[in-house]
């Protein structure tokens, strides 16, 4: 499919945009309809016709493309040579570079993710991460993946920086300097002795995710009952499934989850971290909670060689990223659009479901589904045009085209 010429439509005088000849991801299906945008929002066209009696200032023929909400990545450590945890002296420029690079992959919103780091790094980096980047993917808040994790399941996290929560919420405030910019905190539930901490974080609007953990199922259930609603990169850095105690994986089918609550789980479908059969098991067991994440590192978009993640050097070899000198995987280098395609092929799910796993589900996970992750009326006009192979043709943020594939 040839991409329609789009990015010359961003005139500051543009008031009403109509995208035609397209299929919208709406109501869990593909719907043939036009998409109407004004003032950065997706709007209901009926009042336009009947009350205002006006027409679009610009109409774009999408040539049969799929229009989907923009992808949302809740776990990304960096990319394009930038490491959010390591490059503290240039963090503003680094986040800007990544935000502008991600739009090429269809990502319109993301949570910059910091791996386990020294307190001084958190104090320096967190306040300096920009809240928005012009013409770049939106920043939803920060994902602190650690340092309150289990050293037995540390993965690529530096063990000397791992901490325990010994003074309740005060420990977290001391560690991070402030909780204000945090959107997600990954912690090991078996390392949380204060039963009020998780609930206190949730009350502040922070999503508590369980990961890098040797937790039993009962540990996980207790944390969910206290307010945790997410699992960090399912199957990775946790106890393997066992029939007598399935660990955190068992939360996907636990009957101890409070009624009406969904446990979401990030999953890395990069063709490396998670076997296709494991992707199918997760999808068939708990489809409502599945959230595609990249867990991408600084080597995203780069060639083979030595790079860094947090305090540790990493090496990219044959399309995989390892802790340098070892065979320990330490992050993905697959962009979100590729993860969506890999997941759809591995599970044979519908195109719409694969898209929603990277849009609607992450939005619901962090309670922003009324703003992002859908094409519903009054939601933000962050969307992407895709061909039938789920390749990104163009990316739009707040109703403006910020990327177009040139063939």
Q: At what angle do helices 276-285 and 336-347 cross, to 10 degrees?
A: 80
Is 327 labelled a binding residue? Answer: no
Is 363 labelled a binding residue? Answer: no
d(CA 53, CA 387): 33
Residues 6+ apart with CB under 8 A from 255: none
Is 145 labelled a binding residue? Answer: yes
d(CA 336, CA 106): 7
CA angle, residues 394, 331, 261, in degrees to nearest 5: 75
User: Which of these, 182, 239, 242, lies nearest to 210 by C-alpha position?
Assistant: 239
Residue 259 corresponds to which tokens in the numbers above?
A: 């009624």
**Pairing between β-strand 392-397 and β-strand 400-404 as defined by DSSP bridges:** antiparallel
Is 361 labelled a binding residue? Answer: no
Q: What residue has token string 């409070």?
A: 258
The single-letter DSSP state of residue 93 is H
295 included as an active-site residue: yes
Residue 369 corresponds to which tokens in the numbers above?
A: 């589904």
Question: Looking at 295, 337, 380, 382, which residue is catalytic?
Answer: 295
The single-letter DSSP state of residue 52 is I
Q: Provide the 10 A C-beta neighbour count for residue 128.
A: 14
The single-letter DSSP state of residue 243 is S
Residue 383 corresponds to which tokens in the numbers above?
A: 């969307």
Residues 6+ apart with CB under 8 A from 39: 15, 399
Residue 335 corresponds to which tokens in the numbers above?
A: 């962009």
Is 156 labelled a binding residue? Answer: yes
DSSP string, 191-202: GB--TTHHHHHH
Is 331 labelled a binding residue? Answer: yes
Q: Provide the 10 A C-beta neighbour count for residue 39.
A: 11
Query: Phi then psi for 2, rounded to 5 degrees?
Result: -75, 135
**Pairing between β-strand 35-38 and β-strand 17-20 as defined by DSSP bridges:** antiparallel
Is 341 labelled a binding residue? Answer: no
Annotated binding site for substrate: 156, 236-237, 244, 273, 329-331
Annotated binding site: 145, 156, 212, 233, 236-237, 244, 273, 329-331
Annotated binding site for Zn(2+): 145, 212, 233
**Active-site residues: which are they?**
295
């Amino acid at each position: 499919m040839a991409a329609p010429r789009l990015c010359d439509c961003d005139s500051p005088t543009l008031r009403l945009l109509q995208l035609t000849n397209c299929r919208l991801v709406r109501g869990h299906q593909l719907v043939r309809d036009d998409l109407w945008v004004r003032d950065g929002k997706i709007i209901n066209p009926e009042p336009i016709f009947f009350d205002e009696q006006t027409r679009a200032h610009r109409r774009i023929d999408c040539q049969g493309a799929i229009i989907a909400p923009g992808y949302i990545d809740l776990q990304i450590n960096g990319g394009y040579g930038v490491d959010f945890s390591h490059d503290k002296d240039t963090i503003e420029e680094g986040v800007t570079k990544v935000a502008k690079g991600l739009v090429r992959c269809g990502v319109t919103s993301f949570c910059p993710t910091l791996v386990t780091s020294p307190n001084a790094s958190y104090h320096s980096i967190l306040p300096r991460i920009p809240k928005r980047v012009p013409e770049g993917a939106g920043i939803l808040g920060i994902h602190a993946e650690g340092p309150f994790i289990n050293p037995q399941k540390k993965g690529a996290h530096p063990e000397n920086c791992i901490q325990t929560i010994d003074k309740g919420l005060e420990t977290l405030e001391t560690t991070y300097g402030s909780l204000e910019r945090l959107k997600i905190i990954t912690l090991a539930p078996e390392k949380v002795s204060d039963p009020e901490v998780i609930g206190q974080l949730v009350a502040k609007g922070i999503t508590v995710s369980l990961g890098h953990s040797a937790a039993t199922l009962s540990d996980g259930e207790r944390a969910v009952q206290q307010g945790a609603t997410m699992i960090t990169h399912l199957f990775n850095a946790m106890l393997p499934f066992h029939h007598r105690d399935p660990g955190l994986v068992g939360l996907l089918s636990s009957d101890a989850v409070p009624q009406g609550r969904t446990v979401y789980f990030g999953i890395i479908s990069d063709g490396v971290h998670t076997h296709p059969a494991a992707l199918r098991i997760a999808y068939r067991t708990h489809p409502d909670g599945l959230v595609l994440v990249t867990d991408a590192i600084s080597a995203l978009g780069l060639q083979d060689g030595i790079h860094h993640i947090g305090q540790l050097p990493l090496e990219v070899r044959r399309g995989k990223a390892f802790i340098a000198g070892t065979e320990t995987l330490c992050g993905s280098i697959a962009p979100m659009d590729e993860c969506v395609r890999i997941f759809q092929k591995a599970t044979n799910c519908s195109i719409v479901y694969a898209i929603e796993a990277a849009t609607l589900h992450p939005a619901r996970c962090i309670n922003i589904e009324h703003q992002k992750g859908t094409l519903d009326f009054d939601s933000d006009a962050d969307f992407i045009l895709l061909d039938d192979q789920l390749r990104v043709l163009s990316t739009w943020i707040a109703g403006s085209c910020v990327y177009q594939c040139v063939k």
